[in-house]
Chains A and B, each alone.
Chain A
């Protein structure tokens, strides 16, 4: 199966520490905080007494309530301390969406956060060369004559 959605996110540097997701349910999807002060809204631990989410059915107890959670994280970049807001949408204990909003503290931080932001394609899909207008290609399998000749020799040896 090909997933073709694309999303942007901020990749945290190796020194990053993202604070625990806590509180601040957006409520847009009836979200509840994963951990929070209100016991009625607390996530249900596996095997707990609380009712699992309806969509989890009776086969497995949901560990987290469905919903959208948000938190602010801090990490250290070459531009200094950075803050990012992270929103995570959970459904059936699966993260279905992640949205990261940089909260740059100054222009330098903003520059770093933009530069550190990456796009991700879950699955790249090739297009036929004749479907795409390009002036030329890069990554070509062009090889030198000597290289091609050597490969041909190997193929001959392999057959012999």
Chain B
């Protein structure tokens, strides 16, 4: 798509929204309002967020409707990964230094996620004890979906919404996306054609800070993963693609096949890769 583009930084990542014609200010305002509202609920990095409040007090709160869909997906991924993927991983990430102050230094031994019971009725959530939620595994993808939904609601029919490489495309011409080599932004390991679908990736180099510390953390142990170094998933919704890309670090691809229709690429530390045969693209080997 060669049209208009707006770029900005939000929720700690670089956004690019590409459209056939420039977005009206009113539409762009709605996009920013959608992002701000999401951040207000889910950001671990601001004291006035809903998840910070839950971390202080526990108890019950009602999330926006999208919260129910997000936590439904987390429930499935939690089950398929035997507890490696859970929103209760917030304190584990903070322990490793991935915190509001960006300390990026472990402040103690690895901290497994608490087994705090999370009761839920739709988008109403009850924490039996205070716990810090982190929805980094699928939240950014969901926000990409929500921004795309705003565009459609404003009559925008063709777009690419790209939040730091997690993206959703809609339009007649497929978008060819390079799968960036972990640790080497000058090389790609494959290409995928995305049309009317979402692509999300997760790589351990993207947010890595020394001594093997990075943001893909096994909630059962509180330690970063080692074997898998990068994953990509193509699915209808970016939320699903994002969550599955994280889950692929911990679960065999076969165990995730029926979560939603999707294709994937998974690259291991030793250079092996596994990918769906019907991947709309190619892995270079």
- A-side residues, CB < 8 A to B, are 4, 6, 8, 11, 13-14, 78, 114-129, 132-147, 149-151, 154
Contact = CB atoms under 8 A, between A and B. Distances in A.
Given A13-B254, A14-B252, A132 B191 contact: yes
A136 B277 contact: no
Contacts of B255: 13-14
Interface in B270-285: 271-279, 283-285
Shortest beta-carbon contacts, A-B, top 9: A126-B187, A121-B285, A134-B178, A139-B180, A138-B165, A150-B102, A144-B12, A121-B273, A137-B178
Q: Which of B202, B207, B279 has the most CB of A within 10 A?
A: B207
A129 to B, nearest CB: 6
Contacts of B16: 136
A142 B207 CA distance: 9
Contacts of A142: 13-14, 164-165, 206
Nearest to A6: B285
Contact of B232 (A117, A124, A139, A141): A139
B257 A135 contact: no
A128 B188 CA distance: 6
A144 B182 CA distance: 18
Interface string B192-231: 1000000111110111011000000000000000000010
Interface of B: 9, 12-14, 16, 102-105, 160, 162, 164-167, 175-192, 199-203, 205-207, 209-210, 230, 232, 252-255, 257-258, 267, 271-279, 283-285
A79 to B, nearest CB: 9
B257 A115 contact: yes
Q: Which of A114, A115, A134, A139 has the most CB of B within 10 A?
A: A139
A124 B103 CA distance: 34
A121 B283 CA distance: 8
A139 B203 contact: yes
9 contacts: A11-B253, A13-B255, A114-B277, A120-B272, A122-B271, A141-B183, A142-B164, A142-B165, A145-B9
Contacts of B257: 115-116
B206 A141 contact: yes
B163 to A, nearest CB: 10
B218 to A, nearest CB: 19
Given A126-B184, A128-B186, A138 B178 contact: yes
B188 A129 contact: yes
Nearest to B262: A115
Contacts of A126: 181, 184, 187-189, 284
